[in-house]
Structure 1
C-alpha cells in the first residue's frame, strides 16, 4: 500500500507539469481512491488473484490493456508480473521504462557485515526517473498536494466537529520489528493527552488490532478508534484533514504524506536511508532506533527479518522525544 501511495505525488506532478499527458494507473481495485481527483488519471483494476492470475491471466491483462492504445509503459513495480506486461508492450514497439529498485545497494545497506550505511535515492525520485526516460521530466519540488477532502456527516458522527488539533496514530505495521512497543506507545498517548486542544484518532485493521487500539483508548474521551468504523474511502477523507500523523514505517505514513499532512515516523528494523521515508517530510520527523547500540540496523528493507538480540531496538526511541516532535506541530492557540 505504501508503494502505491508514494506514486500519487509523482503522478500529480506529472499531470500538472505535462498537461497533455493522460495516465492509466493499473493496480488492485482497492487502491483506486488514492487517485480520485487527479486530472487526466484513469484507473484500471487488475485482478491478480482472479482473471489475471498466472501467465495466461497476464496475457489476458495485456490483451485488455492493448485496447487503451498507450504511447508508453511506466513499470513502477519491477516484479515478474509487471516485467512480463512491460516486455509484451516493448515487443509491440511501445516505449517502456522500468524503475530501478537498486537491489544491490539495498543489500549493502542491510547486510550485517561490511555495511554501506549511506542514503539511497528516494523511491519517489526513482519513480520520477521512469517518466523522464519516457520523455516527461518531473520536478518533485513543485508538487501540488491534494486538497483536504470535505468530511461527510457520517464521518463527523464519529469524529465530532473539529475544535482541536487532530492527530492520527497508526501504531501497527506488517512486521513486528517495525512496531513500537505497546507500553511506550501508551506512554506517548498519555503524554499527548496532557496537551490542550488535542483529539487522537487511532488507525489499524482487523480484530486483533482493533482490540489493541481499544486498549489504548480506554478511559479517554478524546481518543477515538477509527479502525472498523469507516470505509477505506472515509479513512482517506479523515486522514487528509489531520494536522499530524504518527506512524510506523508503514502505509499510513505514505497515505498521510500524499495529502501533505505532517508525518512523524518511527523506525526499528528498517531505516529511512533505504529510500522509503514519507514524501516531502523533514529528516527530523524520522525517529530511528539507536545504531550505536544496534549497529546492524537496518537489518532489512521491509522489516521481515528477525535478528537475535534486536527485539528491543525500538525501545531506544524515547516517548519524550516522540511527544516533543509531535508537540512542535500542535497549535495550542484558538483553532
Structure 2
C-alpha cells in the first residue's frame, strides 16, 4: 500500500520554522503512516531530526535556488520524492513561485492564510480591534485540514527524553535552578534593555543563567556577563549547535525569552518559557505552542501592539512599550515561576 507523502514549505524565520516542527510532531502522532518532505533552510534541520517519517530537504535561496530559475531547479529536485500533496506554510514570494510550479503540474495543494487584514486591524492606532487572533500554529494546521488531514492540537508542552550535552552534565547540578535566557531579537523594539538583565542576575545568585542566541555583538555582551557574574554562562559561539541548544533547553528548569525564537525552541522541547513583550502582543497569534499567556510579561496600553513582527516603534506615553517592562516585574515573575 502506497504511503501518502506531503511536501511542506516554510523557509523562515527561525521561530516560525520551530513552530512548524511543533505542528508536524502533532500531525505525525495522529497520522503515523504519513510521510513528510520538509523544505527549509539547512540551519533549521535540527528542529525536525526526531520526527518520524520526515525527510528534510534544504533550500539555498542565495545560491543554487536563487530567483525563479533556482526555484525551478528546486522544483525538479522535489518532484523526485513523488509527493501527493503540497502544504505551503509560508505564503511568500518564493513559496508562491514554487507552489505555482506544482499547481501547473497538477499537484493538489493548500496555502497558508496569514489573516493579514485581521492583523492590520490589531495593530492600527485608530479603531484598533483588540481581540486574540487565530494562533499561527492553528493556521498551519488549517492547511493540512484543507488537504483532508484531521488534526487536533491540545496546546500542551510535551517533554521528550533528550541527552544532556556532554560539557553541561557536570554544570547543571551545581546551582539551585538552571534558567535559560534568550535576551536578543532581530528587531530592537522586541529587545528588553540589556542592563535590566544584570539586575535579574544579581537577584538570583543561587540560579545559573544560560545565555542563548545572537551574533558576534551579542556574543560579546554575553561573554561580558559571564565575566562579571559567576552565575551566568554564555552558550553563544560554543560548539553546541542548534541540536545541542535544544538538548540543553530541555534540561533547564525554565526558559526566559523575548517574543523570539527562544520561546519557540522551548516549546519544541516541552520547556516552560517566560516571555517579555513590547511592540508585539500574544494576541497576534505567535505565542509559543503550549506556552501560557499568564507567563507573558507585558504592559497593557492602548497603543499596543503597533507591530506584528516588532519592526516598528511602539510609543506608550512617550516610552517604548518594551521599556515599560521593569526589572521588578521580571524578577517577581521569575520568583513565582520557580517557587
Provide TM-score, normalisation by structure 2: 0.90
What residue number does 2:324 align with? 316
Measured in 1, the distance between the counterparts of 2:142 and 2:159 equals 22
In structure 2, which of residues 55, 62, 87 is the aligned counterpart of residue 49 of structure 1? Answer: 62
1:327 aligned residue: 335
Decide which of 21, 25, 32 is 1:19's aligned counterpart.
Answer: 32
3-state secondary structure, aligned to 2:210: strand
Give the deviation of 1:210 after TM superposition. Answer: 1.7
Structure 1: runs of 5 or more not aligned? none
Computed over aligned residues only, the root mean square deviation of the Cα atoms, in angstroms, reads 1.9
SS at match of 1:140: coil
Q: CA deviation at 1:143?
A: 6.5
Q: Does 1:268 align with 2:275?
A: no
Matched, 1:172 2:179: no
Counterpart selection for 2:194 from 182, 207, 221? 182
Long gaps (5+) in structure 2: 1-13
Cα deviation code 1:131-172 (max 9, x no counterpart): 111111111117783514212423447x45565321001111
Pairwise CA distance, 1:14: 0.6
Q: Does 1:126 align with 2:139?
A: yes
Instruction: Provide Cα deviations, 1:78-115, integer angstroms capped at 9, x if missing partner.
Output: 10111121222122222111111011111111112121
Q: Give 2:91's aligned residue.
A: 78
Give the 3-state SS of the residue equivalent to 2:201 in structure 1.
Answer: helix
Structure 1 contact 148–259 (Cα < 8 Å) conserved: no
Q: How many residues align?
A: 324
Other-structure match for 1:224: 233
Q: Deviations over 1:178-222 (max 9, x none)?
A: 1111232221222232xx4x2110113222112222333343222
The residue aligned with 1:302 is 309
C-alpha change, 1:162 and 1:39, in structure 2 (3 Å) is farther
Farther off after superposition, 137-146 or 168-177: 137-146
Quote how far apart the aligned CAs of 1:278 are.
0.9
Query: Quick one: distance in 1 between partners of 2:314 and 2:336?
Result: 34
| CA distance in structure 2 between the partners assigned to 1:113 and 1:261 by the alignment | 38
Which residue does the alignment assign to 2:4? none
Q: Is the 8 A contact 1:257 1:278 kept in 2?
A: yes
Cα distance in 2, alignment partners of residues 237 and 308 from structure 1: 38
State the 1:227 CA deviation.
0.9
Any conservation in 1 of the 2:119–2:284 contact (CA below 8 Å)?
yes
Q: How much has 1:236 moved relative to structure 2?
A: 1.9
User: 5 Å matches for 1:84-233?
Assistant: 84-141=97-154, 145=158, 147-156=160-169, 159=171, 161=173, 164-193=176-205, 196=206, 198-230=207-239, 231-233=241-243
Q: Which of the residues 256, 273, 277 maps onto 1:246?
A: 256
CA contact under 8 A between 1:249 and 1:265: conserved in structure 2? yes
String of CA shifts for 1:251-302, please: whole Å, max 9, x gaps. 11111111110011100111111100111111110111330xxx22111111
> CA contact under 8 A between 1:123 and 1:276: conserved in structure 2?
yes
TM (norm. structure 1) is: 0.91
Alpha-carbon distance between aligned partners in 1 of 2:262 and 2:331, rounded to the nearest angstrom:
19
Provide the rounded CA distance (Å) in 2 between the counterparts of 1:114 and 1:142: 31
With 240-249 and 223-232 compared, the bigger mean Cα shift is at 223-232
Question: Alpha carbons of 1:258 and 1:114: their partners in 2 closer, same or farther (altered >3 Å)?
Answer: same
